[in-house]
Structure 1
Amino acid sequence: MNRQQRMHLYDIQNRAYTEGTVEQINDQWIFFDEETEEAAMLEDFVQQEIEIFRMNRWKKGILKEAGKIRIGNELIMLRDQDLVRIRKHLIYSLERLLDGINDDAFFQFVTTLNSLNFSIFDCIYCYNHLSFLSDEHRKDGVNFMVFDNQDEICNVQHHFCYYEKINDRFEFTINTGKRLIIEKLIS
């Protein structure tokens, strides 16, 4: 799995974007979150990935300044009530953890999490013990993650041992009592 395949898995995650509409009020662009109905200054998202819904499809670009999106070589001007979605950011420690595990463990973790109706963007807490072991020859320990999809809570323990063999074990526990364990061992 290369970086592009990992990024595709990020792109297809549920709840990867905050959707809403934009309005120009007193010469300022305001973003209204569709789910929470909260308002935010669009300029707070400058230089971030944003998508605009035009001609019955989402067009991906970068917000260059409030009211303007660069899509390739084209500069698109926003209009009042345009439907947009802004890419959410992962919790930093989770992002580092996902970058640090091998491709097979990454794929199994994300697809299993998705099968339980959770997204990596549902993460509300991540303790990444692996990041503290970067200089060590033998790396073993446990990482802790908590996910909230608004219906259920999922706790994940990632037991790892990277020494002569690579061992990743993920234990998923949902607040309903459902449990699932997956393990990946590479010699």
Structure 2
Amino acid sequence: MQSQIRKKVLQDQERSYQAGKVLHKDNQYLFYDDVLDDVQLLEYVVEEEMEILVNLEWQKGMWKGAGKVHLPFGNYDLKEGDFIRLKKDLPYALNKMLEAIPDETFLKLVQQLNSWGFSVYDCIYNYNQLLFMEKKTFKKGVSFYQFDNEESVCALQHHFERGMRNKDRFEFTTSRGKQSVISVFY
């Protein structure tokens, strides 16, 4: 279960939403992402929660199907051209790594990425070695993650040890030559 701190940090991350507008054709509601120049059936891309721009403010709502969204002030019928945004999911391996580290370590890792203009939602490649070691009592290895914010790339190596004491070492390197290391024992 995520702590409230983690939820807030993840919610406030840059590029954590996929934004687009509603198209209504042949009695079907479509989601158009102009960044990707992609059109999909809205019912396939929205799970339940979504946000809609109403009176220049994002309102959280629950998708009810057939173009209906339940907002805090009542039901809303989607119209052609409405702007909506959908929360992105984190890649599975990255999400599992973030869930497995303590809150303090999570905050340090995310703050380092953010300080260089990266978001955890910029992850384009993720490999979590710990996922393949579940049955071992002592675990030691390295996991790899890559982030791309469209201006530069950040490689993250997560060196870990799990046993009587846990150790995490995060090595960050950007395509612009910046480097940083965070080491944590617990």
TM-score with structure 2 setting the length: 0.91
| Residue of structure 2 in register with 1:133 after alignment | 133
Shift of 1:72: 5.3
| Residue of structure 2 in register with 1:148 after alignment | 148
Q: Partners in 1 of 2:71 and 2:167 — Cα distance?
A: 42
Shift of 1:137: 2.1
| Residue of structure 1 in register with 2:172 after alignment | 172
Change (3 A) 1:46 1:117: closer
TM-score with structure 1 setting the length: 0.91
Segments of structure 1 that go 5 or more residues without pairing to the other structure are none
Q: Contact 2:46 / 2:86 at 8 angstroms: preserved in 1?
A: no
| Runs of 4+ residues over 4 Å off in structure 1 | none
C-alpha RMSD over aligned residues: 1.9
Shift of 1:48: 3.4
Q: Partners in 1 of 2:110 and 2:43 — Cα distance?
A: 32
Residues 1-187 of structure 1 mapped to structure 2, 5 A cutoff: 3-71=3-71, 74-186=74-186
**AA in 1 matched with 2:110:** V
- Alignment: residue pair count: 186
Shift of 1:57: 1.4
Shift of 1:91: 0.9
